[in-house]
Amino acid sequence: MGMLSALYAGPNEVTVYDPAVFAAVDGPGNKCTKPSWYDMLQPTVALNTTRDRVEHDDRRKAWNRALNPEALRSYRSRIDRYTDLLDDYIASHVGEPISANDIFYWFTFDIMGDLAYGKSFGMLSEHKWHYAIAWMNEFMGLLGPISPVPWLARFLFHVPGVTPKWHRFMDWCQDRMKDRLTMEPNEPDVSTWLIDHVRSDGIVGKPQFDTLHGDAVTMTIAGSDTSAQTLLFIFYHLAKDSTRQNQLRQEIIHSNAQSSDASVLGDCPYLDGFINETLRVHPPVATGAIRQAGPGGIDVAGINIPEGTIIVAPRYCIARREDCFEKADQFIPERWTSAPHMAKRKEAFAPFALGRYSCVGKGLAFLQMRCLVTQLVTKYSVHFVDNTDPDACWRDLKDNFTGLPGKLDLIFKPIKV
Shortest distance in whole angstroms from residue 277 CB to ligand HEM: 13
Binding piece for ligand HEM, criterion CB under 6 A, among 153-161, 196-204, 332-340, 361-369? 361-369
Do 166 and 157 contact (CB within 8 A), yes or no? yes
Touching ligand HEM, residues 226-255 (CB under 6 A): 226-227, 230
Regarding 357 and contact with ligand HEM (CB under 6 A), the answer is: yes
Tell me the Cα Rg of the chain: 21
- 48 is a site residue for ligand HEM (CB under 6 A): yes
CA 143, 146, 147, 151 torsion-angle sign = negative
Q: Residue 227 CB, nearest distance to ligand HEM (Å)?
A: 4
- Give how many residues touch ligand HEM by CB under 6 A: 24
Out of 14, 285, 286, 300, the only residue in the binding site for ligand HEM (CB under 6 A) is: 285
The CB-of-385 to ligand HEM minimum distance in angstroms stands at 25
Per CB under 6 A, the segment of 5-13, 170-178, 234-242, 356-364 that binds ligand HEM is 356-364
Give the contacts of 407 (CB within 8 A, at least 6 positions apart). Answer: 99, 101, 392, 393, 396
Report the relative pairing of strands 409-414 and 98-99 from DSSP bridges: antiparallel
284 makes contact with ligand HEM (CB under 6 A)? yes
Nearer to ligand HEM, 333 or 351 (CB): 351
CA distance 212 to 181: 10
Q: Which is nearer to ligand HEM, 48 or 292 (CB)?
A: 48
Q: Does 397 sit near ligand HEM (CB under 6 A)? A: no
Q: What is the DSSP letter of 38?
A: G
Rule CB under 6 A: is residue 41 a binding residue for ligand HEM? no
DSSP state string for 191-260: HHHHHHHHHTTSS--HHHHHHHHHHHHHHHHHTTHHHHHHHHHHHHHHHH-HHHHHHHHHHHHTSSTTSS
Binding mask 55-74 for ligand HEM (x = CB under 6 A): -----x--x-----------
Q: How many CB atoms lie within 10 A of CB 331?
A: 18
149 CB contacts (<8 Å, ≥6 apart)? none
359 has binding-site annotation: yes
Q: How far apart are CA 365 and CA 230, in angstroms?
A: 9
Instruction: Report in angstroms how near the CB of residue 60 gets to ligand HEM at its nearest.
Output: 5
Per CB under 6 A, 262 contacts ligand HEM: no
Query: Closest separation between CB of residue 335 and ligand HEM, Å?
Result: 18
From the CB of residue 374, how many other CB atoms can be counted at a distance below 10 Å? 23
Q: How far is the CB of 245 from ligand HEM (least distance, A)?
A: 20
d(CA 101, CA 104): 7
* 80 burial via Cβ count (<10 Å: 0-12, 13-18, 19+): middle
Q: Rounded to whole angstroms, how far apart are CA atoms 386 and 75?
A: 38
Which residue, 22 or 169, has its beta carbon nearer to ligand HEM? 22
Of 10-18, 246-254, 262-270, 355-363, the window that binds ligand HEM (rule: CB under 6 A) is 355-363
What are the E-state strand segments in 55-149? 98-99
| 223 forms part of the interface with ligand HEM (CB under 6 A) | yes
- Residues 373 and 352: their CA atoms lie apart, in Å, by 20
Our finding on whether 360 is near ligand HEM (CB under 6 A) is: yes
| Least distance from ligand HEM to the Cβ atom of residue 319, Å | 12
Residue 47 touching ligand HEM (CB under 6 A): yes
Among 71, 289, 300, 410, interactor with ligand HEM by CB under 6 A: 289
Taking the C-alpha atoms of residue 342 and residue 365, their distance in angstroms, rounded to an integer, is: 25
Q: How far is the CB of 52 from ligand HEM (least distance, A)?
A: 12
Among 364, 373, 393, 404, binds ligand HEM (CB under 6 A): 364
State which of residues 212, 219, 313, 354 lies at the interface with ligand HEM (CB under 6 A): 219
Q: Is 361 in the site for ligand HEM (CB under 6 A)?
A: yes
Query: With left for phi above 0 and alpha for psi between -120 and 50, is residue 301 left, alpha or beta?
Result: left
Contact residues for ligand HEM, defined by CB under 6 A: 47-48, 60, 63, 218-219, 222-223, 226-227, 230, 284-285, 288-289, 351-353, 357, 359-361, 364-365
Which residue ranges are tagged as binding site for heme? Answer: 359
